[in-house]
Chain A
Amino acid sequence: MAVTLLLISLLAFLAFQFIPGDPVTNLLGSDYTPERAAALRHEMGLDRNVFVRYWDWLTGFVTGDMGESYSYGMTVGQVMEGKGAVTAALSLMAWLLVIAISIPLGITLSRYQGGRLDRVFVAMNQVFMAIPPFFLGILFTYVFGLVLKLFVPGGFVRPEQDFWGFLGYLVFPALAIAIPKAAMVTKLLRSSILGQMGQDYVRTAYSRGNSRWSVLKKHVLRNALLPVVTFVAMTLADIVAGSIVVEQVFALPGLGRLLLASIGNRDYPVVQCIVVIIAFVVVFMNYLADVVTQTIDPRIRLG
């Protein structure tokens, strides 16, 4: 895992070697002269070899010094302050919504398999899975924000100012992210339960006079949830990485927007830090998914 993260940070650092423009071009803008640029580059240490700079950054990062932002004149820590919380709150809320929607729905649908309710929901599920989250975000802004006035588009408040207002503003972005994912999980859970229901041990359990609910609870869910748990764990990683676009739609000041802006400003200390954070979440959740899978089903070897 550490190797992967190291590799990612190196890749991100090298990436800026290929993109035109550097912090200096941006800082000077229309006041640019080659002499001033060279002087500023020297002052900022940008004229050194890229690997030397990477090593500097890495040793700093490991010792907890994330460096100074080029475009804000403050430390990376100060720039990031509060931004991580927004993305974390948004992702977590979306993730919890995925679970809160899909688990009960999946179980209910499997109960009524083949019924009208089931068919309607399964069809709707297909449609929801096909909706890009940012389009759902746009629709929500229109329907709930502008027509029904349930929230104020662009009216984000900081949690320090108004905690419930902050959470309230995140509900619709979180839903926009959660619904397509929840549709996938619902579907996965439903077919997983149905798959288990046909197994011999279920028939045996029924024949002992157990009710449907207790069979479900005691036997089926345990097995049926296995693939779902793995998927749901990986979903969180997906949500974090995918929040960039939705933050843009709802003008949320989170990591994603900061990442886009910092790429634009060629502010690599900030980019570097965000990339490592996002990558860490992704790698960690994937690892966790593997561990969970392995714990529940020892036949699967960690790859």
Chain B
Amino acid sequence: MDLRHNKNFTAGAFITGLMVGLILIGMVWTPYDPNAMDGRAKMLAPCARHILGTDNFGRDIYSRVVEGAGATALIAAATVAIGLVAGLIIGGVTGYYGGWLDEVIMRLNDALTAFPSILLALVLIALFGGGKYKIIIALGVLFIPSFARIVRAEVARQKSLDYVASARLMGAGDMRILFLHILPNIVPVLLPSVAIGFNNAVLAEASMSYLGVGVKPPDASLGRMLNEAQGYLMSAPWYAISAGAAIILLVLGFGLLSEGLGGDGHAS
């Protein structure tokens, strides 16, 4: 597949590149300190000094959007990492061995999937405490079941294939077969789910922060900004639109990228 002629990939790479670029630049430089308040510059419309205007504390919206997008992307990436690693271990072991352990863990998995995620998140946040790094753990746990399910199905399929049998004949141990032989073979299947997972994690973080469970103020978060902005829709629609657009661009970029890479890109 020649990626250069793949429009989805090109567009996705462009948007993702743009967002990642802005976020990276934002880490070392933003036009204003994202948390600095200015009582004389509240609710300004976009202008030369504040390209996306200011919020109800006179904070620069552009700086906060960039910081918030960074936080969201970081949380989403870390969430997926946790979900993926734990999902690989759990799904791999249950898929490989099967039996009653498989049965029990998959039942638990089903239950977690059907559990209202907001309640689960509240419990986990109560356990770990709120804040940027804590919510990563909470969301990460939420994402384990879906990865575990995919890995399990794939491992169960792979283990009946010839190469596994021959590895076993050569005396390889279970763990060795699982992680050195089977794992590399399921990576291609996992790639699209990683992209989907990332997008779902972005949306989950944004929804949680919107509902007020998540990143602590005054730190910027796209979901929380949307919540605040909702009150100023009439006088300052650009506030909500800026924060919303950042979420859309993050998700869109990744969706297109994963599609370009051959996944189907949509959440399920």
Contact = CB atoms under 8 A, between A and B. Distances in A.
Q: Secondary structure of the A side of the interface? A: helix
A275 interface: yes
B256 A126 contact: yes
B261 to A, nearest CB: 15
B126 interface: yes
Interface residues on B, range: 35 or more
Given A19-B122, A275-B116, A275-B119, A245 B256 contact: no
A4 B207 contact: no
Interface string A202-238: 0000000000000000000000000000010010010
A172 interface: no
Interface residues on A, range: 35 or more
B67 to A, nearest CB: 19
Interface stretch (B58-66, B165-173, B229-237): B229-237
Contact of B153 (A263, A278, A303): A303
Q: Secondary structure of the B side of the interface? A: helix
B111 A142 contact: no
B113 interface: yes
Interface string A12-28: 10010011100000000
B115 A138 contact: no
Contacts, number: 130
A100 interface: no
Given A8-B111, A135-B240, A275-B116, 14 more contacts: A4-B110, A15-B120, A15-B122, A126-B252, A126-B256, A129-B265, A130-B255, A132-B203, A132-B206, A134-B206, A134-B207, A271-B119, A278-B116, A279-B115
21 contacts: A15-B119, A129-B251, A129-B266, A130-B249, A135-B244, A135-B247, A138-B226, A142-B237, A184-B267, A184-B268, A231-B268, A237-B114, A244-B116, A245-B207, A245-B210, A248-B210, A249-B230, A259-B118, A263-B119, A279-B116, A303-B153
Interface of B: 8, 107-108, 110-120, 122-123, 126-127, 153, 199, 203, 206-207, 210-211, 226, 229-230, 233-234, 237, 240, 244, 247-249, 251-252, 255-256, 259, 264-268
Interface of A: 3-4, 7-8, 11-12, 15, 18-20, 126-127, 129-132, 134-135, 138-139, 141-142, 146, 184, 187-188, 191, 231, 234, 237, 241, 244-245, 248-249, 259-260, 263, 271, 274-275, 278-279, 282-283, 286, 303
